[in-house]
Amino acid sequence: MDWQPWQQEIDNCKVIITYDKNHQLYPISDWLHPGLIPIGNGDFDELYQDLPNLEWFLRHLGWLGFYNVDVTSSERLRGLDLINETISKPMNLRFLVDDWIDEIINMSESVENIILVSGLYLTNSDLRKAVLHHIQSGNSATLLAVRGLQFQVGLVTFDEETNLISDFQEKPIDKTQLVNSKILILNLKNEYSKDLLIEFREYLHKISNLNKQLNQSIINIDYINELIQFLIKKDLLSTIELTGVKGEPWFLDLSKIETWIKLDPQFFIQNFKHLFNCENFILSPN
């Protein structure tokens, strides 16, 4: 089947691929960009073993209409030049590979759409709906982060009426393993929530500097858990109940909560709903 662009061309997109074995601090800075759509998972030790998924992901970008794409990698990825030949030229997709990720920490806000792919196994989510939701929502940022044990593909289901993710299914490599998957969706609507995340970035940098002072050469930070702990410390998130069916994933959606915009801790998230589990649970505000 010949490739056909999806609905519209989307210029000025930044694709950031982080293959850091030790999950250094760099990726969190990209989370704070006002045009962010991160997708992926980063819990694997071996590098360079899943270029076919990367090729699929980039082909999907072209199908979505992204035609001006930069790819920044924290390590030089073998095979990217070949992917460049097989994908970029036929699809007219500008595909620039950078060796270092540091430059994106202070990235210009003129880059309107960013997709952060963190890890080797890319999530086979319905990226078209995710991008469409990001564009139509009017939010300054949409975050979708997936973490877990070994799995190769997953499918995100969107509720057509609410435009929220209603389900996420994944297929583990080892089907005997329990899948520990976490999804965080954070839609930022205005300058107040953006300021809060800037404060969160400063908080993470303090952790980073402390680790360096203690002569820890490897910075290991669980971004999602740190964000939740940060919200708890700011009295924006007080309790999380853990009940429900084992094995089901979770999402936290702040996009519909007025008190998130107002930064009012007293009325922030009145309660969470169904499908809770210590490792895999869904967080859904009223």
pLDDT per residue over 217-233, tens digit each?
A: 333 444 444 555 565 56
In a domain, 93, yes or no: yes
Nearest to 184 by CA among 147, 133, 157: 147
How many domains, in total, are found in the chain? 1
Per-residue pLDDT, averaged over 164-169, amounts to 45
Q: What is the pLDDT of residue 134?
A: 46
Q: Distance between CA atoms of 264 and 284, rounded to whole angstroms?
A: 18
In a domain, 195, yes or no: no
Nearest to 139 by CA among 273, 34, 18, 11: 34
Q: What is the pLDDT of residue 207?
A: 58
Q: What is the pLDDT of residue 82?
A: 57
pLDDT per residue over 47-88, tens digit each?
A: 344 455 555 556 655 555 555 555 554 444 445 555 556 555
Q: What is the pLDDT of residue 67?
A: 55
Does the pLDDT at position 24 exceed 50? no
Does the pLDDT at position 180 exceed 50? no
In a domain, 54, yes or no: yes
- If you count them, how many residues does the chain have? 286
Encoded tokens for 103: 């430059």
In a domain, 268, yes or no: no
Does the pLDDT at position 242 exceed 50? no
Distance of CA 47 to the CA centre of its chain: 19
In a domain, 58, yes or no: yes
Q: What is the pLDDT of residue 40?
A: 36
If one compares 53 and 140, the residue with the highest pLDDT of the two is: 53
Q: What is the pLDDT of residue 58?
A: 61
Most confident of 120-129, 162-171, 190-199, 242-251: 190-199
Q: What is the pLDDT of residue 89?
A: 56
Q: What is the pLDDT of residue 91?
A: 54
Q: What is the domain range of residue 105?
A: 13-189+245-255
Q: What is the pLDDT of residue 179?
A: 30
Across 62-66, 136-140, 141-145, 192-196, least confident range: 141-145
Q: What is the pLDDT of residue 186?
A: 38
In a domain, 38, yes or no: yes
Q: What is the pLDDT of residue 205?
A: 62
In a domain, 282, yes or no: no
Q: Please, where are the H alpha helices in the chain?
A: 26-31, 51-64, 80-83, 89-91, 127-137, 191-213, 223-233, 258-262
pTM strictly above 0.75: no
Q: What is the pLDDT of residue 210?
A: 56
Does the pLDDT at position 250 exceed 50? no
In a domain, 157, yes or no: yes
Per-residue pLDDT, averaged over 256-271, amounts to 26
Does the pLDDT at position 118 exceed 60? no
Distances in Å between the Cα of 75 and the Cα atoms of 19, 71, 192, 217, 223 are: 7, 11, 34, 18, 20
Does the pLDDT at position 199 exceed 60? yes
Question: What's the chain's average pLDDT?
Answer: 41
Does the pLDDT at position 255 exceed 60? no
Q: Distance between CA atoms of 146 and 41, rounded to whole angstroms?
A: 5
